Amino acid sequence: MLLYLRLTALVALIFAPSASLAQTALLRFRLLPSESQILTLTTDPFGQTVTGELTLRDGEAGGRIEDLKGSGQVRVAIDAASYNSSLGLRDDDVQTYYLHVKDYPTITFVSGGIDEIREPSSSKEAWNLTIKGTLDLHGVKKEIRVPVRLTHQGRRITVEGSTRIFLKDFNISVPTLLFWFRAGDQVEVKFRFVGEQVP
């Protein structure tokens, strides 16, 4: 009987940690460029809103559901030379004279933590998070906070949100026309990233 109890205790010690690890498994997702979208909205010197689009180069996200604040992480890399507003000459100017894509070909964001979390009341609803991290744009690194909505269905996640950046914070000149009419000095960035779970 004593031998049986000792064997039972040994089995419990062996398998209990495995169960605990399964519950706290880190979920990892690869962001899919073909299904993701990044839009920029700014004002041109005539006061019109210009919508541009950038392409996600690659990215990843991950975390433990029961400890998202402590374990959540995001990395995004964007191709700066992909800027497209459907007007070739303007796009060439933005890439060459403002983003300087030959010197700074990639825009990156790397999270440093999650400030706020509002959990959904059901699995069909979205998580509301505020992610803080470092945006590396035009050779300048600056910490920003980005509110997002995260939905997790099956092996996929969708992350949606928007933020505003000021051009002067990243040493980007404000476009002008005839040395007088100036474009807007801030850009609104709207994004939708789709990720697929990886082993």
The pLDDT assigned to 174 comes to 78
The fold adopted by the segment(s) 26-198 is Lipocalin (2.40.128)
pLDDT for 177: 52
Confidence of residue 65 (pLDDT cuts 50, 70, 90): confident
Q: What is the pLDDT at residue 88?
A: 84
Task: Mean pLDDT check: name the lowest of 69-73, 100-104, 135-139.
Answer: 69-73
The pLDDT of residue 6: 39
Percent of the chain with pLDDT over 90: 63
Q: How far is residue 44's CA from residue 97's CA, in Å, rounded to a whole number?
A: 15
* Six-digit token string for 110: 């790397």
Q: What 3-state DSSP class applies to 34?
A: helix
Say how far apart CA 119 and CA 82 lie, in whole Å: 35
Residue among 112, 128, 130, 132 at smallest CA distance from 120? 128
| 18: its two tokens | 């495995």
79 CA to centre of own chain? 14
The model's confidence at residue 159, banded by pLDDT at 50, 70 and 90, is: very high
Q: Where are the domains of the chain?
A: 26-198
Place of tokens 């990639």: 106
Instruction: List, for residues 126-140, the tens digit of each pLDDT value.
Output: 999 999 999 999 999
For the cut 60, the answer to whether the pLDDT of residue 69 exceeds it is yes
Residue 162 confidence (pLDDT) above 50: yes
Between residues 47 and 22, the one the model is more confident about: 47
Structure-token pair, residue 44: 């041109």
What is the average pLDDT across 142-149? 97
Alpha helix positions (H), 29-171: 68-71, 88-93
